[in-house]
């Protein structure tokens, strides 16, 4: 199915993200992870691009997307373009189609130093190429706190408009820890003429190393309440895990109550954490989606 149909069927969609293992020794564990995540019955699961290589034959994204579909959940395959040539991209699209995957999150991807850039240097260009080929529903990424390479928020919103014009049918945000950033961004996106459903990307922080890495990579701001939590519990791994789950739960409940169209949980391949959050938010989701008391 096309993921855009989900937003016609539900007030608030729930989805997960997983990533392929970096080493072949992790392949068996990722399938156990998929078993547990699919049992939670999300509306779809996205698979990040690569880790197993960027060639047509060895890209694990295709394999895992097919495995998700075989488990009865709709897959969303990430596809990046910055370091891929035309032949590789078209080959991956063919493989995804053969695997029954119909939804693609089109991304530029991170530049690799010394690698030759491909013919498509921006996500909207990749979307346009996929749209010309046909056969796929397109999803785009967006950035509540502005893309790190954008000169200013206005340029970032203009880029978002280009994704909409290129054929994106819904958007997924980069992770954030301050819901006010999301609300401000969503309002500005609507004013700028972006009218696609926007899923809020939430990452439960369950260890100190995770937050240090995430802030370095994406530059998400740390609100005072979150900083106090990290400082209070950083010496106790179990307490930090529980506090991180509680914080993510509070974020999600607030978002659902404010009318967010979807929640996308960055699971970090941790089904136990995803399960606890799903248990915490189940009644709120049921309520807005018509499965619980009004």
Catalogue the active-site residues: 17
Q: How many CA atoms are closer than 13 Å to the CA of 29, on its beta-carbon side?
A: 13
Indicate the pairing of strand 13-18 with strand 198-202.
unpaired
Residues in the chain: 294
Cα–Cα distance, 76 to 19 (Å, whole number) = 12
Cα–Cα distance, 170 to 147 (Å, whole number) = 18
Q: What are phi and psi of 152, to 5 degrees?
A: -165, 165
Q: How many CA atoms are closer than 13 Å to the CA of 5, on its beta-carbon side?
A: 8
Helix (H) or strand (E) holding 201: strand 198-202
- When computed from its CA atoms, the radius of gyration of the chain, rounded to whole angstroms, is 18
- Give the bridge partners for 74, in sequence order: 44
- Contacts (Cβ under 8 Å, ≥6 apart) of 263: 12, 13, 14, 15, 199, 200, 202, 252, 255, 256, 281
Q: Quick one: which of 245, 206, 275 has its CA closest to 38?
A: 275
Q: What are phi and psi of 164, to 5 degrees?
A: -60, -45
Contact 163, 192 (CB under 8 A): no
Report CA 217 to chain centroid distance, whole Å.
Answer: 15
Contact 268, 210 (CB under 8 A): yes
């Amino acid at each position: 199915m096309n993921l855009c149909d989900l937003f016609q069927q539900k007030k608030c969609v729930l989805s997960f993200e997983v990533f392929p293992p970096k080493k072949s020794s992790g392949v068996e564990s990722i399938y156990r992870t998929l078993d547990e995540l699919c049992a939670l019955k999300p509306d779809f699961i996205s698979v990040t691009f690569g880790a197993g290589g960027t060639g047509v034959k060895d890209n694990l994204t295709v394999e895992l997307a097919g495995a998700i579909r075989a488990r009865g959940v709709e897959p969303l395959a990430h596809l990046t373009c910055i370091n891929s040539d035309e032949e590789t991209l078209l080959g991956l699209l063919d493989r995804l189609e053969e695997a029954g995957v119909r939804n693609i999150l089109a991304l530029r991807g991170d530049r690799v130093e010394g690698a030759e850039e491909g013919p498509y240097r921006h996500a909207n260009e990749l979307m346009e190429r996929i749209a010309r080929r046909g056969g796929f529903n397109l999803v785009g990424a967006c950035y509540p706190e502005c893309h790190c390479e954008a000169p200013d928020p206005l340029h970032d919103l203009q880029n978002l408009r280009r994704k909409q014009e290129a054929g994106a049918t819904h958007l997924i945000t980069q992770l954030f820890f301050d819901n006010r950033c999301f609300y401000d961004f969503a309002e500005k996106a609507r004013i700028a003429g972006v009218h696609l459903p926007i899923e809020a990307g939430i990452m439960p922080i369950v260890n100190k190393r995770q937050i240090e890495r995430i802030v370095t990579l994406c530059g998400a701001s740390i609100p005072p309440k979150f900083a106090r939590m990290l400082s209070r519990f950083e010496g106790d791994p179990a307490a930090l895990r529980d506090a991180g789950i509680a914080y993510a739960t509070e974020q999600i409940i607030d978002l659902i109550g404010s009318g967010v169209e979807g929640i996308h949980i960055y699971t970090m391949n941790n089904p136990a954490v995803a399960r606890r959050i799903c248990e915490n938010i189940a009644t709120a989701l049921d309520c807005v989606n018509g499965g619980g008391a009004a």
